[in-house]
Each structure stands twice: as C-alpha cells, then as structure tokens.
C-alpha cells in the first residue's frame, strides 16, 4: 500500500478530467465495499437508537464523498435524540465560527428519533479533540463512538 505522501505528487499532476474520473472510480469502489445487508432496508420502530445512529452514519458515508469521520455522541443527549459529529474534508465552513448543530429531521416510518448533525473541517476536528474548539451547546465528546467508514 503506497503512502499518501507518495501518491499526492502524482495525483496533483493529473489532468483535471482524469483526476475527476479517478475520484469517481475510487468512490464507486469504496461505496460497493461498504454496502452491507443492514443498509438495504429502512430502519423501523424496532431499531434501537444506537442502530439508528450507525445506519444514518453509514448512509452519510456512502453518499457524501467529503465525509471522512463520523462520531456518534450519545453522552448527555435526550433519550430520543441522535447527535453526530461529521468531519468533512470538503466542507466550506468558516474555521473560526462556532460549530452548528443542524436538525436533519429524518422522516422514516416508525422511527421517532430526532437527528442533529454538526459538520467540522478536519482542522476544526483536531481543535475539538484538543479542547480548543467547543462542540455545539450541550454536546459532549466523552464516550463518543466512532462509526467506521469501511466497516458498516
């Protein structure tokens, strides 16, 4: 497996259309790799909060090429609320602005959980981990569960 540092110079010199095609192919392969059985059906009233969080995270990984990490933050959340911190390498966020939790309002038959998602750039994520950047009000990093990107 080549190191990222070795790949960057080569990829940086690719013509734009070839780079786009490369990204498309890699993306397609990654998506196929993560398609597990549990992703094929909508959650229902028997789905636990943790299962729902994992399902949502997997969907977000699968459809959004910018997302590199997703942390599920159950500590301190209301019983029916799922909180996800999503690290997005392509996000256009002001680096110095406070993180914002957005209500994603899932509309799935039989599922009554609410869903809040906060996006962070990779740099913001490092600052969160080091305690220099606060999470949205009321959110806690303690006890977070990272949803693996390739093992869903």
Partner 1 sequence: MNEQQRLYLVQARSDWEVYQLLKSGPVCHRLHDFQMCTEKLAKAYFWRSSNAGNLGHAAFVKFVRAIATNQSVATNLGFYNTRSFREWIKDVSDLAYELQALAPSLAHDGPNPEYPWPRDKPEHAPVEHDFEAWHRIQTPNGRHLWIMIDKLLENFDEWF
Q: Catalog residues that contact partner 1 under the rule CB under 8 A.
A: 16, 24, 27, 31, 35, 39-42, 56, 59-60, 62-66, 90-94, 97, 100-109, 115, 117, 119
DSSP 8-state class, residue 76:
T
Give the DSSP letter of residue 109.
T
DSSP 39: G
The residue (of 104 and 144) whose beta carbon lies closer to partner 1 is 104
Please say which residue, 57 or 73, places its beta carbon nearer to partner 1: 57
- The distance of closest approach from Cβ of residue 122 to partner 1 in the complex, given in angstroms and rounded to an integer, is 15
Closer residue to partner 1, CB minimum distance, 43 or 73: 43
Min. distance of Cβ 31 from partner 1 in angstroms?
A: 7
Distance CA 77, CA 139 (A): 7
Q: φ, ψ for residue 101 (rounded to 5)? A: -90, 125
| Minimum CB distance to partner 1, residue 20 (Å) | 9
CB 52 within 8 A of CB 43: yes
Considering the complex, state which of residue 11 and residue 90 has its C-beta at the smaller distance from partner 1: 90
Q: For residues 145 and 82, give the distance between their C-alpha atoms in angstroms, rounded to a whole number.
A: 12
**CA 48-50-53 angle, 5° bins:** 110
In terms of CB distance, is 80 or 143 closer to partner 1? 80
Shortest Cβ distance from residue 132 to partner 1 (Å)?
20
Cβ neighbours for 26, distance < 8 A, ≥ 6 positions apart: none
Q: Smallest distance, Å, CB 128 to partner 1? A: 18
């Amino acid at each position: 497996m080549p190191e990222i540092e070795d790949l960057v110079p080569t990829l940086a010199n690719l013509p734009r259309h070839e780079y786009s095609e490369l990204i498309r192919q890699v993306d397609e392969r990654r998506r196929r790799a993560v398609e597990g059985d549990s992703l094929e059906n909508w959650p229902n009233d028997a789905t636990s909060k943790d299962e729902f969080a994992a399902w949502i995270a997997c969907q977000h990984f699968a459809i959004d090429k910018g997302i590199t990490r997703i942390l599920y933050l159950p500590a301190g959340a209301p019983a029916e609320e799922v909180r996800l911190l999503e690290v997005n390498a392509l996000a256009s966020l002001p680096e110095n602005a406070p993180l914002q939790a957005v209500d994603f309002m899932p509309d799935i038959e039989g599922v009554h959980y609410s869903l809040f998602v906060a996006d962070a750039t990779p740099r913001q994520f490092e600052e969160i981990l080091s305690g220099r950047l606060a999470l949205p009000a009321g959110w806690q990093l303690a006890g977070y569960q990272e949803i693996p990107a390739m093992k869903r």
